[in-house]
Structure 1
Amino acid sequence: MKKIFLMLLAGGLLVSCASKKDLEAAIAKQKETKELLDTATVKLNACYADEQAARARIESMREQIETLKNSNNALLSNQGDLVTLSTTGSRNLERSLESIREKDMQIKSLNDAITKKDSVTLALVTSLKSSLGNLQDEDISVNVEKGVVFISISDKLLFSSGSDKVNESAKLVLGKVAKVVNDKPEIDIMVEGHTDNQPISSAKFADNWALSTARATAVTRVLQEDFQVSPKRMTAAGRSYYMPVASNDTAEGRSKNRRTRIVVLPKLDQFFDMVEKGMEQAKVNAKKETENKK
């Protein structure tokens, strides 16, 4: 009887060990799958937002191209056989064809610029998630909305209740954000302070406007003084309780609304310079192509 009992006990231990290993493997696989899903979701959100703007621009250019094509068809109908076209008509046709080629190349240039912008956004999100990945989701999150990257940090991580002094433990988080910002000189940031709708009145803060602005300024000052983020690249803004992300009717909703949000601002002048240079190059290429066909 004792031997049977020992054999059953050993078998149970083996099953327990095997189950624990399977569970650990499943958890690791789930984490890996979630990271892949987060990256794909970020990329998809950015693509959706920029696709709408690109479609509008492309549609406008297509309408212009269609107008030019109609003009060419009318010209051909009026002139009859191509052999009998006058010198003036031929020149007009060449100019029209060159314009069509230019528009086509401009559309391609615009699409290339948007694709590059999406790639930069995705790389930024990947860097942020990699740097901040060991934190709890309820304390900090990285999201993309309409092609703009947002880093949201809960106030319970950054501040004590009713205070604008940044907790020492929160500086670890801000240091990781600062490293990504310092590594990417092509971006600026806006630090936004947000509160819930509960009234506040103290000797230091007259209302939620004052509290949210002071907290945004405090975070900006830590980024500058402790982590050497250039002040020229930062803006501090107080939002009070006018941009909630949840209902203020519950304690849980108010907790979500009390947050500091860092908005990553791509330098749009660089993006538009890239588009403008692409347009100019498209014009040069179209002209060369027309000359080569003569």
Structure 2
Amino acid sequence: MKKVILILSLATLTLTSCGTKKKIADLEKQNKDCQDLLNSTTVKLNMCLSEKEALNQQNDYLKKNNSELINNIGNMTTLTTKGAQNIEKALETIKEKDLKINRLQDALTKKDSVTLALVSSLKKSVGLDDKDINVNVEKGVVFINISDKMLFKSGSYMVTDRAKEILGKVAKVINDKPDFECMVEGHTDNVPFTGNAILLDNWDLSVKRATAITRVLTKELGVKPSQLIAAGRSEYIPLVDNNTSENRATNRRTRIVVMPKIDEFYDMIEKEMKNLSK
């Protein structure tokens, strides 16, 4: 009987001990959960405090700005009135400048119209069917390129009879435009000139050819000398590379540059630009 009682006591003690361990484990888990929650809550609290501080600073800034804006309302009313007056003056100035710009554009348009009319007249007079004569416009200036084989014999600056026929057509157009100037330019290829003692090099040849053309235009074809400029460009402004006989023939040419009198044109432009700056 005593043995039975002892066995029952031990069993009861064992069961009681197991229940206690389970409770301890449950309490420890609850304690950990509470600690984690506390830590998380502490972090969120710190964040809220930081945000509150930032909001307080922003609120102080907005209050200060609001106060300054209220104080400036009267000044802004005055500034708005002055601003409206300034805008009105600016619009008047812009309107005046627009009128001046339109006048300048009209002048340029008129010049371009005259230039195009001149090109049309030249094309009809000179006859562009001949590949050795070319008329074109660059930046409002008319260029007439005439191959030297139509004007001179090789190495010579004596104008041929055929050239005088062509130059007669050019002279007619120039005479119809007394407000224009013409620059007669002589151009050579890059082959060194070794003709005679009178002509030393390609510079001499190009200048002599330019003055020969100028002389025909003035003395034989009635062009006013005051409209003409003679210039020699030698070999230094080629149209194409001087690497073939055909290309060298292309570069040997006389170019007649027809343009409004530069000083008068730029005086007009300068006058309008001064008006724009006022």
Q: Which amino acid aligns with 1:150?
A: F
Q: Paired residue for 2:59?
A: none
Structure 1 residues 245 and 279, CA gap change in structure 2 (3 angstroms):
closer
CA contact (8 A) 2:184 2:214 kept: yes
1:94-146 deviation digits (Å, cap 9, x = unpaired): 43232111122222222222211111110010010010126512x21101122
Q: Find the aligned partners of 2:252 and 2:236 in 1 and give their Cα distance.
A: 11
Q: Which amino acid aligns with 1:223?
A: L
CA contact (8 A) 1:190 1:262 kept: yes
Q: Find the aligned partners of 2:95 and 2:146 in 1 and give their Cα distance.
A: 49
Q: How does 1:21-170 map to 2 (within 5 A)?
A: 79-80=76-77, 85=81, 92-133=86-127, 136-137=130-131, 139-170=132-163
Q: Find the aligned partners of 2:93 and 2:121 in 1 and give their Cα distance.
A: 42
Q: Find the aligned partners of 2:214 and 2:174 in 1 and give their Cα distance.
A: 12
Q: Which amino acid aligns with 2:136?
A: N
Q: Find the aligned partners of 2:134 and 2:186 in 1 and give their Cα distance.
A: 15
How far does residue 184 in structure 1 lie from its aligned partner after superposition?
0.4
Q: Paired residue for 2:193?
A: 200
Q: How does 1:209-248 map to 2 (within 5 A)?
A: 209-248=203-242
Structure 1 residues 277 and 206, CA gap change in structure 2 (3 angstroms):
closer
Q: Which runs of 5+ in 2 are unaligned?
A: 1-73
Q: Paired residue for 1:271?
A: 265
CA contact (8 A) 2:182 2:227 kept: yes
Q: Find the aligned partners of 1:183 and 1:273 in 2 and give their Cα distance.
A: 23
Equivalent of 1:187 in 172, 180, 183: 180
How far does residue 200 in structure 1 lie from its aligned partner after superposition?
1.0
Equivalent of 2:167 in 170, 174, 194: 174
- Root-mean-square deviation (CA, aligned residues, Å) is 2.7
Structure 1 residues 279 and 246, CA gap change in structure 2 (3 angstroms):
closer
SS at match of 1:104: helix
Q: Find the aligned partners of 1:257 and 1:141 in 2 and give their Cα distance.
A: 13
SS at match of 1:169: helix
Q: Which amino acid aligns with 1:253?
A: N
Q: Which has the higher contact order (CA 8 A, sep 6+)?
A: 1
Q: Which amino acid aligns with 2:142?
A: V
CA contact (8 A) 1:105 1:282 kept: no
Rg (Cα) greater in structure: 2
SS at match of 1:245: coil
CA contact (8 A) 2:157 2:209 kept: yes
Q: Find the aligned partners of 2:75 and 2:231 in 1 and give their Cα distance.
A: 63
Q: Find the aligned partners of 1:198 and 1:283 in 2 and give their Cα distance.
A: 52
CA contact (8 A) 2:134 2:145 kept: yes
Structure 1 residues 85 and 194, CA gap change in structure 2 (3 angstroms):
same
Q: Which amino acid aligns with 2:107?
A: A
Matched residues, number: 204
TM-score by length of 1: 0.63
Structure 1 residues 260 and 283, CA gap change in structure 2 (3 angstroms):
closer
Q: Find the aligned partners of 1:210 and 1:252 in 2 and give their Cα distance.
A: 23
1:172-225 deviation digits (Å, cap 9, x = unpaired): 100110010010012101000001111112222111000010000000000000
Q: Kindly, what percent of the aligned residue pairs are identical?
A: 59
Q: Which amino acid aligns with 1:128?
A: L
Q: Which amino acid aligns with 1:242?
A: Y
